[in-house]
Amino acid sequence: MQGAGRVTGIVVFLFGIALLAFTYFLGYLILTDVERLKEYVNLIPLPQPLIGEELVDAFGITLSKFLSYIIPIVLLFLLGYIASKISYYGIEIWRAKLVTEEKEISKVQA
């Protein structure tokens, strides 16, 4: 089973690439459809209106709308970061197995 580590590395790498593709597809869907972005506003409670505090109310509403754009962007960043780390570990598994196999071959030849 000499090639098992290499196959595992390639499988992990391809899984990470598939996650990256899914992240970019999800990002395209979320950021191009305004209706999907409006759903994120429901995650942020709007400030309760206060009498004579129109400026504070306007700031709170503006901040909640701003955060409704930031939340999906941060989520997409995290998904992309995790997927890229998985791909990186797949490459590292593959490289480590290559180095191990080369050392075994050099020991046999010596």
- Tell me whether residue 85 is in a domain: yes
The band of 2, judged by pLDDT with boundaries at 50, 70 and 90, is low
Write down how long the chain is: 110
Identity of the amino acid at 97: K
- Tell me whether residue 60 is in a domain: yes
Give the dihedral sign, CA 66/72/75/81: negative
- Tell me whether residue 110 is in a domain: no
Q: Is 68:38 a contact under the CB 8 Å cutoff? A: yes
Quote the domain boundaries for residue 91.
Answer: 4-103
- Listing DSSP states for 11-29 in one string gives HHHHHHHHHHHHHHHHHHH
Note the pTM of the prediction, 2 decimals: 0.69
- Tell me whether residue 40 is in a domain: yes
- Pinpoint the alpha helices (H) of the chain: 4-32, 34-39, 54-109
Mean pLDDT (whole number) for 34-45: 73
Q: What whole-number distance in Å separates Cα of residue 110 and Cα of residue 97? A: 20
- Tell me whether residue 93 is in a domain: yes
Structural domains in the chain (count): 1
- Tell me whether residue 42 is in a domain: yes
Mean pLDDT (whole number) for 2-22: 87
- Tell me whether residue 108 is in a domain: no
